[in-house]
Amino acid sequence: MTKRSIFKWTMIGVVTLVISAIAIPYVWVLANEKPFDDRARALAPGKFVELTSGKLHYLWVEPAPENANDETIVMLHGLYLPNFVFKQNAEALAGAGYRVLLLDHFGHGFSDRPRENYDSVFFVREVSELLDAVGVDTPVYLAGQSMGGMIATHFATAHPERVKALLLMVPAGLRLTGSDDDFMSNTLRIPIIGDWVWTVVVRRLLLTPQPICETCGEGRLVGNFYLQS
């Protein structure tokens, strides 16, 4: 075998190994995805409503009838955790007489993952359609945490007649940002490359179980992030 042939077959072997190292983890992750179907939705604690963009998961936390003050609070969660981030808050507010409406934004928790542009118009429509669907026709107290703060602000701007008061908790936006040079967020936006990095690397990091917090006391989150992811 000539040196040229050896080099040729060596390069073919190297390229094959590189392609395999890239393709196999990606295919393996996708092959092991659990379908988001009615069986998965049966695990949800709340109800579902069909909106323009798909099925949205929501639930009410109700006050005792003798304590009800006829006021409604709608709580909008942020980017990383679904509605259970508010579980303890909702129970305390219900104890004070408020009806509390919790939801999983589209793309989160037990709600559908429509392939749409997740911008402020998308989320404002989501909240407006949900309020219509569950029969809330009076102004509400609207609370938003992180990304939910942005959604709450845009909703209040678009529908001021539907908002009695606005509460923002560490409000943020929708743009994905990374370090100071924004390398990670820019990488995730690159076609094909970004999809591979998210699927194989980032999602694995997000879904790696974290050690239980021994010092959180009563303030720890009540909910299973991994189940809903």
Distance CA 49, CA 57 (A): 7
Residue of 82, 84, 74, 79 lying closest to 173 (CA atoms) = 79
pLDDT above 90 covers a percentage of the chain that reads 53
Domain ranges of the chain: 38-174, 178-207+218-229
Residue of 226, 213, 223, 205 lying closest to 87 (CA atoms) = 223
- Which of 25-34, 63-72, 198-207 holds the top average pLDDT? 63-72
Q: What pLDDT does residue 223 have?
A: 67
7-11, 68-72, 161-165: the lowest-pLDDT one? 7-11
- pLDDT tens digits, residue range 138-197? 999 999 999 999 999 999 999 999 999 999 999 987 765 555 456 777 787 888 898 898
Answering whether pTM is above 0.75, one says yes
Distance CA 92, CA 17 (A): 56
Amino acid at 211: P
What is the CATH superfamily name and number for domain 38-174?
Alpha/Beta hydrolase fold, catalytic domain (3.40.50.1820)
Residue of 135, 138, 132, 131 lying closest to 152 (CA atoms) = 131
Distance CA 169, CA 2 (A): 69
